[in-house]
Structure 1
Amino acid sequence: MSKKLIVSADDFGFSKGYNYGAVNAYREGIVTVLSLMSNMEAAIHGVELAKKEVPEANLVVHTNFVQGKPVSNPDLIPSLVDQNGEFYRSYKWKGEDESDQKCVGDIVVTAEDCYKETAAQIRRFKELTGHLPNHFEGHSVINKNVCKGFHQAAEVFQIHCMTEPEVETDRWYPVHEIMTGNPMAMEILNRGCTPQDFIEDRFGILTSPFEFNIIHLHPGYVDAYILDHSSLTTARCRDLETACDPAVRQWLRDHDVELVDFTAIYK
């Protein structure tokens, strides 16, 4: 069984500068999916850029509850937004275990609000692209209530979603989130990946027992908006350089790893 690998450029639509880098990583590198934050102001720019430069690209939804403003009326999703109607940043969320270094606040989001905003961001995606996505996933923070909201959206829209566990259906093959439970993979995400991370299989692609696997990268150029609104900065530049390195694509070929997008998982 040959391995099939989805390589997602997460955060598409975060900023204009980032959009240019992500499209470049798709056009010249190993990225197979552009995962759009449909609520962000630069989402329109990202979709227009993709239509012009890489119209064949598989755009999906990168559901975002921690950056910018929601697509929904803020009054309808009170657990997700502050008094200004903007999303709480992830550090204000209450973590589900004491070891969580990202979520150190006391905000508890509800599954109902997560579903409402997920559905709104999926519909916004359709407004921007003209079609529903064939996949959606979460940005930055995932917990039990987020997963409940995602599961509801996956069933309502009949769209594949990355949660633990996945929605069970005969419509698509399961996809393994290769970074889950892999401390080395999370370290790579935070510092940015290098060609050596692939060559030494630090992601665990070759040892995965699953046919379909996914890696999330953040390949893009850093602009002022990224510097002001994200702790992930230089890692994005490293991911972009590595995604476009010919040695990485050759390593995948040498080990019979096929690059695919989410259209491949549907039966």
Structure 2
Amino acid sequence: MGPLHTVNRRLIVNADDYGRTPSVSRGICDAHLNGLVTTTTVMINLPGALEDVRRGMDCAPTLAFGVHLNLTFGKPLTPPDRVPTLIDASGVFHGKDLIFSNPEMLDLAEVKIECKAQIERFLQTEMELDHLDSHHHLVLANIGIWNLLTELAVEYDCGVRTPFPNDFREEDLLELYPANMIDFSRTQAKVQLEKFAIPHPDYFYASFFGKYAVLDHLIKLLEELPNGVSEMMCHPGYSDETLEQTSGYNRIREQELAALTDQSALSAIASENIELHTYRTGCGK
């Protein structure tokens, strides 16, 4: 396969959910130090996440960090009386199912307030902000949230994840997201990113997840990677009691970690002439 790909093939391997628990953060650092992960996005609103980032700066200084904008798990950083549409009676974010079934329930001004609060919290580390993405792909809830994400990327001079996954069939995505947003993400989102000169990958791969988070599928993705800049999403980590109590995606993170650090995957990067990058090195910022 390698000799067929003479044009530059750049790959960003982003680990979502840094800060979800200390064990997840530690696993992401290991996936960078010993494997393919080049960037991570942090759930900075969660307790202890800021400290996890600072630890990551020490143990994995070449790992690039972005913000995993989160409006579906935990509590906001903003005082509750400033973001009433984002939270339930107990003060925690509404779950993703409720939001996707009724995205207009979120006041976009409040969404902006909380997203800026999360970015500003991250910037307390004095690290360079690599890029933005969203927990549970919330940018696919409605166009207003996507537009807000692009505004923030311009304001903070960083990249943004391309929302349409190239390794999913459109009919499968329709089971998860609103039809108008699937069409928008497929046709207009990248046009908007290019219009505002926001760094973004040419392709986005999201299928290394769940039952497909195995070494064979990972190597298949690498072998079939197109020329240009691609991002592959992943969720490595170590499980712990807190994660198992609050997330259905727990022990499988260790399976992802094993695949991402397997020598066969590392060898495929070399044999396929793939360059590993961050958003800033791979997308021109």
Q: Specify whether residues 171 and 22 from structure 1 end up closer, same or farther in structure 2 by C-alpha distance, changes over 3 A only.
A: same
The equivalent residue for 1:226 is 243
Once the two structures are overlaid, the 10-residue window that deviates more, 148-157 or 237-246, is 148-157
TM-score (norm 2): 0.79
- The superposition leaves residues 182-207 of structure 1 with CA deviations (integer Å, 9 ceiling, x where unpaired) of xxx1xx412352221133x2x47635
Is the contact between residue 218 and residue 259 of structure 2 (CA under 8 Å) also seen in structure 1?
A: no
SS of residue matched to 1:140: helix
What letter corresponds to residue 150 of structure 1 in structure 2?
A: L
Is the contact between residue 60 and residue 135 of structure 1 (CA under 8 Å) also seen in structure 2?
A: yes
Is the contact between residue 29 and residue 56 of structure 2 (CA under 8 Å) also seen in structure 1?
A: yes
SS of residue matched to 1:215: strand
How much has 1:107 moved relative to structure 2?
7.2
What letter corresponds to residue 194 of structure 1 in structure 2?
A: V
What letter corresponds to residue 189 of structure 1 in structure 2?
A: F
CA distance in 2 between counterparts of 1:133 and 1:221 reads 25
TM-score (norm 1): 0.84
CA distance in 2 between counterparts of 1:170 and 1:155 reads 7
What are the equivalent positions in structure 2 for 1:75-224 lying under 5 Å apart?
75-95=81-101, 108-127=105-124, 129-142=125-138, 143-144=141-142, 145-162=144-161, 163=163, 164=185, 165-166=189-190, 167-169=193-195, 171=197, 173-179=199-205, 185=207, 188-191=208-211, 193-199=213-219, 201=220, 203=221, 206-208=224-226, 211-224=228-241
Percent identical among aligned pairs is 22
Q: Specify whether residues 177 and 67 from structure 1 end up closer, same or farther in structure 2 by C-alpha distance, changes over 3 A only.
A: farther
CA distance in 2 between counterparts of 1:65 and 1:48 reads 23
- The superposition leaves residues 85-142 of structure 1 with CA deviations (integer Å, 9 ceiling, x where unpaired) of 21112122233xxxxxxxxx78732332222211111101001x11451311101132
Q: Specify whether residues 170 and 85 from structure 1 end up closer, same or farther in structure 2 by C-alpha distance, changes over 3 A only.
A: closer
How much has 1:170 moved relative to structure 2?
6.8
Q: Specify whether residues 34 and 174 from structure 1 end up closer, same or farther in structure 2 by C-alpha distance, changes over 3 A only.
A: closer
Q: Specify whether residues 172 and 161 from structure 1 end up closer, same or farther in structure 2 by C-alpha distance, changes over 3 A only.
A: closer
Is the contact between residue 172 and residue 266 of structure 1 (CA under 8 Å) also seen in structure 2?
A: no
CA distance in 2 between counterparts of 1:228 and 1:160 reads 33
How much has 1:35 moved relative to structure 2?
1.2
Aligned residues: 248
How much has 1:228 moved relative to structure 2?
1.5
Aligned-CA RMSD value: 2.2
Unaligned runs of 5+ in 1: 96-104
Q: Specify whether residues 192 and 238 from structure 1 end up closer, same or farther in structure 2 by C-alpha distance, changes over 3 A only.
A: farther
Unaligned runs of 5+ in 2: 1-6, 164-184
- The superposition leaves residues 223-251 of structure 1 with CA deviations (integer Å, 9 ceiling, x where unpaired) of 11111111212321111001110100111
The equivalent residue for 2:266 is 249
How much has 1:68 moved relative to structure 2?
0.8
CA distance in 1 between counterparts of 2:254 and 2:151 reads 35
What letter corresponds to residue 118 of structure 1 in structure 2?
A: C
SS of residue matched to 2:41: strand
The equivalent residue for 2:22 is 16
Once the two structures are overlaid, the 10-residue window that deviates more, 130-139 or 254-263, is 130-139
| Higher fraction of helix | 2
CA distance in 1 between counterparts of 2:225 and 2:87 reads 41
CA distance in 2 between counterparts of 1:194 and 1:172 reads 32
Q: Specify whether residues 14 and 112 from structure 1 end up closer, same or farther in structure 2 by C-alpha distance, changes over 3 A only.
A: same
What letter corresponds to residue 220 of structure 1 in structure 2?
A: G
Q: Specify whether residues 131 and 34 from structure 1 end up closer, same or farther in structure 2 by C-alpha distance, changes over 3 A only.
A: same
